[in-house]
Structure 1
Amino acid sequence: MTTEFSFPPPPTLTSKHSGIPERLLDVGVESKNRLLSKRTVPESMPRQGELPRLPPDTTRAEFNQAIGELRQILGEEHVEINDKPLVDGWYVEHPNTHDAFHIALQEDLVSSAVVYPGSVEEVQAIVRWANKHKIPIYPVSMGRNIGYGGTAPRVPGSVVIDLGRRMNRILNIDADNASCLVEPGVSYFALYEEVQRRALPLWIDTPDVGGGSVLGNAIDRGVGYTPYGDHFANHCGLEVVLPNGELLRTGMGALPGKGGADNPTWQSFQPAYGPYSDGIFSQSNFGIVVRMGMWLMPEVGHQSYVITFPREEDFPQIVEIIRPLAQQRVLGNIPQLRHVIQELATTAKAKSDFYSGTGPMPRDVIREQASKLPLGDVSWVFYGTQYGDPASIATQLDLIRKAFSKIQGAKMLFPEDLPPEHYLHSRVNVCSGVPVLRELDWLNWVPNAAHLFFSPIVPTRGKDAQIVHDIVVRLHAKYGFDLIPTLCVAGREMHYIVNIVYDRSSLDEKRRAAACMREMIAEAATEGYGEYRTHILFADMVAGTYSWGNNALMRFNETIKDALDPNGILAPGRNGIWPKRFRGKGWEILGSEVEDALEGKGIGPKCRP
């Protein structure tokens, strides 16, 4: 270990469901020490006002009585009042009381309490309790939706339901069917380790960092990088607690199995008979998903590689070459196209190690510093992986090499061409279903680092990609942030994911990050490009951009919400969907309310002047 700081080691899977595997303990210790050693502010700041923060329209006496009832339902030890200092923690030791990567003030989006159900029946009981007392509840699987709000409830004072602590079983792995059935607290780490323990010839598909919930990531339509990278598209069967406490199974699970067993095709066929309802439970607040089936990928040969491109202006041509390769299924996975600045960031060094000035790192400095790294002075970096037997992989690589050779100076490299510490070796793991921690390294870029994702969907066409790229380049320069983009590329669309890395202790950086986010959302929407996923504080603005037909989509969502959740208790405001009880009463954030909150005005109608 190279750092002079020493913090307690993170938990492992043997001691905690949300821990890291033993195989990554040394990596985790070093990553945690390195990141926390850059902290320049106290671990927690004094909280303001009477604690805990109460749910809306609830007196302290009513809250105390309701919490007393909840403790009788769940047991004293499974109900925690949020009246203690707020600590942001580290990746697998994050809070479940607020957003560890707070973009508003740390205590703006806080829970009143956190509860830990241990069964589906207890989740149902909590929902019925919430309806009785009209207290909003906010379910999270494991709370690792970092960059999008973490565990923070959209309505301050809501009761967070932490599903992961006690509902973390792998209920089934069907090796013949190449599928599994999991509860919300099963992480990619945990699922991978169990597959390995059973020596099954199966892969999971993991995001960049492996500590998140398999169920939660799929429900929020996250992505990975094998051919099974579209996680929601590869789920099969849900069990859902509805806002009235009833239990629903979707897909083939709606058909009772013989003798009361689960239907044997529940994890085999997604739609079943009649309307396909699974989609309304992704990125919504229409129900609490407590079980989910997931398809696994049969083990196969693979070869990862990296292709570098020398010039900034190569960008649209790169995209044009990718499109037919992806549409023809020549590209084996969901590849990434990254700017070379990420080669600096993934070294785990601070920006100050490369540049001592203020504002965004100038391009000539990036070039100078990149020239000292293994890939050299390049501008764009493409990370891909091919699958199959050696002969088919060789044929695929020849096609890819030939296609990209149209760009002067393009160069293909393989893992054996690069030192063991290079980022490509991490991609080899991720693209073959092995969850890792490496992607946390760029959080060392600034002190007290947090990040905020801007994630529009862009057609896989050079001209479209350039339009969005020009917007984010200009606005990052305007607000003084380094542009750190990653494009997850498919045959017809790209997830253009922009990572705004900011110092969470700096009100000025938060204010600029929020303003940059607002302008990117607005300008991209004006050009016809919308986000697929966003931070909870920008959900209203993003949802408002999908306004075709006099907001027909939102009116449809509100109709479903009001029918299923007439008391408006389940995650009000999540993804911009507000129940009638809250709708149009000042909870929506459509302008500079996030920046205003940094002036101490808070979030919510009662906080405003």
Structure 2
Amino acid sequence: MTTAQAPLAFVSGHYWLGGGNPTTTESSNGYGFGEPKYLPPNVSQAVFDKFAKKVVSAIGADNFTIITPDIELESYEDDDFGRNCRTHDYYRSFDDEVELVGSAICHPRHVHDVQAVLAACNEHKVPVWPISTGRNLAYGGSAPRVPGSLVMVLSTHMNRIIHVDTTACVCVVEPGVTFMQMSEYLREHGLLDSIRVDSSGLGWGSMIGNALDRGGGASLYGDRWGKHSGMEVVLPNGEVVRMGMGAIQDPEGRKQAAAGVHPADQKLNECFALFPYGWGPMNDGLFSQGNSGIVTKMGFWLMPAPQGMTPFSVTFEKESDLAALVDAIQPLDLNGTLQSSVSLRNLTLEAAHYGPRSSYTKASHKELIPEEDFEKMAKKLNTGRWRYIGAVFGSDKVREALIEDIRKEMTKIPGSKWATLEENPDESNLVRVRATYLQGISSMGEFAWMKQWLPNCSVIMVAAISRLEGKAVSDQYSRAKELFAKAGIDYISHYVAYFRTMHNVCIIPYDRKDKDMRGRAQWLARTLLKEWKENGWSVFRTHVGLMDQVADTYDFNKGALWKMHEEIHDTIDPNGILAPGRGGVWPKSYDKDEWIMGKKYIG
């Protein structure tokens, strides 16, 4: 076995301590305590002070900061593609309904600190909202579902690449390890010729955080949750549990346990990241989009470096080509010919990559882009109403055979145009940008449009699921476009196929400082979800402010599944301190009817 070990002090450079956040304050009482903007529910200032003192005594004053009342949500400025807002949802997506702001921020240094903070939360009944890097772009950022929660930032210190096995192509990481950090590590250690990490267009995202939220990648290993193996979790009562093969003590770890070494510091079983199941009930799913524990280590299967890669794109002339295109994709995806994840974007999304909205139209933010401007847009960019971007991997012969089959089927649609990178050497070419992380090398280019499309550009994503069939996808598209038009917001759509379904990622752009447009975006997101429910659809991932409404769509047998989720959670977390409301799962200590958001859209 060949193993590369990261230095214990390795830090990626994407993080800052709470004390450096200009929207937080340390008061003069010696502990950095003060009155928070929002106290935790049913917690007095006196009790909060006792709680804060206990947390600081465990993790140090430098790792605890109060979110004070003087924070200005409306005028808050931050570079969302550099540092990260840890106090609230920078995009303010649902602040007009409830301001989702914590009481304080803490930065545990290791598992011992996580346990100490949980002990204080249990003692004083303070809810805690764990985050990895806290990016969660378009899905709520670092915002806690319950205002006044303690926001626990795991990435500041817990960011080690613990283990990389180049023979088995696996790794074990902590929550702060980003896709970019892993790519940098593989490059620095000369390992890119052997292994790659399924990467992202947002390389600063946490590998663990993204997998737990079931985010998707673009490569052969794009199902990140499906490619995890082994988890170490701290339960709400502070107990450390290892899943799968990790629950079997390594012989050396057994000796360490006998010598009194902390469970989190004991050697992992050598099959921790190799075989995800172990034996007996598999409980990993409790911690994915859930609130039953804090994941402190996680194993992942890495991608063997491909022999070669050929990226390609196909453009389609008409908006009405969508159904035929999906029907062409379905058999190719099912039989494995399409090796990378299906990435199909509409003209608006492609245009946003190359310039702001104002460079294509004179329409105001209250008006839709007119049809004649779309015609000019397509001509200017030499594209169609849809662009498919993909890649094939393997030897020259394998890639040639795959390309031949794909090209044959996709260019049957009249007006379609096939293109390769060689035909467009421009470095800003969208296909080139996506090709970077299709081969397992992190980048930041694909989502940079979010900084330029509108002034103060912000987005909410509503990612609906449908059958991977032309009619089903086209029907959903048509209904979504109608609702976007009613909201007066240009429809931006990115279709991604996973398993046997198509995910319609509806991207709702708005100016966060324009209250009217922000309100229209909120209405649109909630109305889309209501429409999806009526048609038997739902989403695979959602914004913190939409979680209650999404949970309501799972209504079979009077919501039996969510009742089960809550019964399990109440058993594991009897005090209801860990991320209450996450995933629409509410502990019995909360009156659910009082806490749910979007009430008029539910039921």
TM-score of the two chains, using structure 1 as the length reference: 0.88
Contact 1:488 1:496 in 2 (8 A): yes
The whole-number CA distance in structure 1 between the counterparts of 2:541 and 2:348 is: 24
Name the counterpart of 2:71.
Answer: 85
Q: Could you tell me how far 1:567 is from its partner in structure 2?
A: 0.5
Structure 2 residue aligned with 1:478, among 483, 486, 500? 486
Please state whether the residue corresponding to 1:102 is helix, strand or coil.
coil
Between 380-389 and 92-101, the greater mean CA deviation after superposition: 92-101
Contact 1:327 1:490 in 2 (8 A): no
Structure 2 residue aligned with 1:397, among 399, 403, 412? 403
The whole-number CA distance in structure 2 between the counterparts of 1:593 and 1:324 is: 37
CA distance 1:588–1:450, shift in 2 (3 Å)? same
Between 166-175 and 580-589, the greater mean CA deviation after superposition: 580-589
Contact 2:15 2:155 in 1 (8 A): no
1:120 aligns with 2:106: no
Contact 2:11 2:159 in 1 (8 A): no
Q: Count residues in correspondence.
A: 555
Please state whether the residue corresponding to 1:586 is helix, strand or coil.
helix
1:222 aligns with 2:215: yes
Structure 2 residue aligned with 1:487, among 482, 492, 495? 495
Structure 1 residue aligned with 2:561, among 545, 549, 553? 553
Name the counterpart of 1:607.
Answer: none
- C-alpha deviations, 1:177-229, integer Å up to 9, x for none? 10110000001010110011111111101122111000000000000000100
Structure 1 residue aligned with 2:350, among 338, 343, 349? 343
Q: Could you tell me how far 1:16 is from its partner in structure 2?
A: 5.2
The residue identity in structure 1 corresponding to 2:213 is: D
Structure 2 residue aligned with 1:268, among 247, 265, 274? 274
The whole-number CA distance in structure 2 between the counterparts of 1:142 and 1:341 is: 29
The whole-number CA distance in structure 2 between the counterparts of 1:78 and 1:145 is: 22
- C-alpha deviations, 1:401-425, integer Å up to 9, x for none? 1111220121110011112221111
- C-alpha deviations, 1:135-194, integer Å up to 9, x for none? 000000000101111100000000000000010000011111101100000010101100
Contact 1:540 1:575 in 2 (8 A): yes
Please state whether the residue corresponding to 2:369 is helix, strand or coil.
coil
1:467 aligns with 2:460: no
- The within-5 A match list for 1:33-48 is none
The residue identity in structure 1 corresponding to 2:550 is: V
Name the counterpart of 1:213.
Answer: 206
The residue identity in structure 1 corresponding to 2:471 is: K
The whole-number CA distance in structure 1 between the counterparts of 2:535 and 2:158 is: 43
The whole-number CA distance in structure 2 between the counterparts of 1:283 and 1:51 is: 28
Which runs of structure 1 show a deviation greater than 4 angstroms over 4 or more consecutive aligned residues?
A: 13-16
The whole-number CA distance in structure 1 between the counterparts of 2:600 and 2:457 is: 23
The whole-number CA distance in structure 1 between the counterparts of 2:561 and 2:459 is: 29
The whole-number CA distance in structure 1 between the counterparts of 2:64 and 2:378 is: 51
1:152 aligns with 2:152: no
1:18 aligns with 2:14: yes
The residue identity in structure 1 corresponding to 2:284 is: D
The whole-number CA distance in structure 2 between the counterparts of 1:263 and 1:306 is: 43
The whole-number CA distance in structure 2 between the counterparts of 1:248 and 1:514 is: 39
The residue identity in structure 2 corresponding to 1:458 is: S
The whole-number CA distance in structure 2 between the counterparts of 1:588 and 1:15 is: 38
Between 353-362 and 324-333, the greater mean CA deviation after superposition: 353-362
Structure 2 residue aligned with 1:292, among 298, 315, 329? 298
Q: Could you tell me how far 1:491 is from its partner in structure 2?
A: 5.1
The whole-number CA distance in structure 2 between the counterparts of 1:127 and 1:274 is: 28
Between 582-591 and 155-164, the greater mean CA deviation after superposition: 582-591
The whole-number CA distance in structure 1 between the counterparts of 2:594 and 2:454 is: 35
Contact 1:323 1:491 in 2 (8 A): no
- The within-5 A match list for 1:133-282 is 133-200=124-191, 201-260=194-253, 261-282=267-288
Q: Could you tell me how far 1:356 is from its partner in structure 2?
A: 1.0
Please state whether the residue corresponding to 2:361 is helix, strand or coil.
coil
The whole-number CA distance in structure 2 between the counterparts of 1:259 and 1:16 is: 30
Name the counterpart of 1:25.
Answer: none
- C-alpha deviations, 1:49-99, integer Å up to 9, x for none? 964311110111111111011110111111111115353412231211111
Name the counterpart of 1:8.
Answer: none
The whole-number CA distance in structure 2 between the counterparts of 1:388 and 1:72 is: 55
Q: Could you tell me how far 1:14 is from its partner in structure 2?
A: 8.7
Name the counterpart of 1:601.
Answer: none
Contact 2:530 2:601 in 1 (8 A): no
Name the counterpart of 1:303.
Answer: 310
Between 129-138 and 488-497, the greater mean CA deviation after superposition: 488-497
**Structure 1: unaligned runs, 5 residues or longer:** 1-12, 21-42, 595-609
1:360 aligns with 2:368: yes
Contact 2:134 2:142 in 1 (8 A): yes
Contact 1:17 1:168 in 2 (8 A): no
The residue identity in structure 2 corresponding to 1:344 is: A
**Structure 2: unaligned runs, 5 residues or longer:** 1-8, 17-21, 25-33, 254-266
- C-alpha deviations, 1:267-292, integer Å up to 9, x for none? 10011000111111100001110110
